[in-house]
Amino acid sequence: MAFKPQKKIAADSIEPSGKTESQNQLAATPKPPGKPPQLPDIGPGTLVILGLDVHARQITVVRQIDHSLPQPAQRMDQATLLAWVGKMIAAGARVLSCYEAGCFGYVLHRMLTALGVENIVVAPEAWCGANKTDKRDARELCLRRERYHAGNARAFSVVRVPTEEEEARRNAGRQRERLLKERMRADRRGASLLLLAGIKTAKGWWRPGPWAKLSAGLPADLLQQAGLWQEQALHYEKLQSAAKKELEKEAASDIASLPAGLGNLTWRLLSGEILTWHRFKNRREVGSYTGLCPRENSSGDSRKQGPINRHGNPRVRTLLIEAVWRLTRFEPGWRGFVKFPALLDKNAGSRRRRKAVAAGARLLAIDLWRLETAQTTAANLGLKRDFRTHGPDAAEPDQEPSP
């Protein structure tokens, strides 16, 4: 069944709009002259709160002035927003704002901060449940920013904004990861293409030696198609190998000694993702950031723990779990293996070992935080090789591990 498009009704139209006749007559009755509603004046000391829903082409803004009702949402581009905010700052207002972390990075945050805005970046959520619109999200962000300013620290989860140096350091590690994924993509596409022709390839088929033997027996059309993916795989492998050496060199200049099995590359990538180990105040914050804490469904005397919650940084989880498996070979005396013996027991079930490695990775993050912040020593943790940083200003660790 086809529906006719609804006709738009102008604000000054007298056509029926679904109202009763009495309502239409009442609406048509001229109102006595009066002053239009006045918005709160913006001047020195005025508190302005902005909720920003950021997109590539537009930013949806909801403004609240001095704890009044939020104003209707407005849409504007970034330049218009900055000019608008600059006028409020110039009038002496105190401007608070927030927006969700995402693919746009922290450029807008730094621009707002440079103007004098107290902006924070928050973790994305389903702010309005299943009913999602830009206007609803901006309004909810505005209201939660007001509650956060009033002292409700649980209004949302605040994201730590890295400095430009920290962000560049983290991006270097992620760039190597992207190059590695591109090489793996070319590898698999070329192998899939050859498999369609009935040719099974071994690992590293695209390397110069194996490819010289493989390409000798390929038809001309298949050689041309598979050769494209071989060239791409070889190209990206050279780029990621150079990036890997640079990261390892940088880590070697910062760290004098690491526990066996951790490695310069793992430490460089891990510290780059965490930005700074001094951001954490206690071990609970470290464990929570890894996303390796179990979910819980408890009530009364009943307590049920489920799988890990996967909050925080997924790259950190991957690096920590890989490091734990390597420590089983090179550092079997680590205290984590005493606490979770299933990691060293090859006869333990796979499910039990998976649970143990998640708990061990969480403990490893806490131990690395203690080592980096000089709260303990490698010997106290059961590690054979010491953890030492370069530089005469390195803090002396405590002799006893912190609780």
Report the domain count for the chain.
Answer: 3
Do 262 and 385 lie in one domain? The reply is: yes
Do 209 and 155 lie in one domain? The reply is: no
Tell me if 39 is assigned to some domain. no
Do 112 and 97 lie in one domain? The reply is: yes
Tell me if 356 is assigned to some domain. yes
Parent domain of 226: 164-254
Tell me if 223 is assigned to some domain. yes
Select from 159, 190, 211 the last residue of a domain: 159
Residues 272, 198: Cα–Cα separation, whole Å: 44
Do 225 and 270 lie in one domain? The reply is: no
Tell me if 11 is assigned to some domain. no
Tell me if 323 is assigned to some domain. yes
According to the model, what pLDDT value does residue 36 have? 44
Mean pLDDT, consecutive 10-residue stretches, the chain (403 aa), reads 45 41 52 50 90 94 93 94 94 95 93 96 86 92 95 92 95 96 97 94 94 93 95 97 95 89 92 94 94 87 86 93 94 93 90 93 95 93 87 46 40
Tell me if 152 is assigned to some domain. yes
Tell me if 24 is assigned to some domain. no
User: Using an 8 Å Cβ cutoff, are 93 and 43 in contact?
Assistant: yes
Q: Name 245's Cβ contacts closer than 8 Å, sequence gap at least 6.
A: none
User: Using an 8 Å Cβ cutoff, are 371 and 389 in contact?
Assistant: no
Task: Find the DSSP H helices in 70-163.
Answer: 78-90, 107-115, 134-149
**How many CB atoms neighbour CB 395 within 10 A?**
10
User: Using an 8 Å Cβ cutoff, are 160 and 275 in contact?
Assistant: yes
Tell me if 27 is assigned to some domain. no
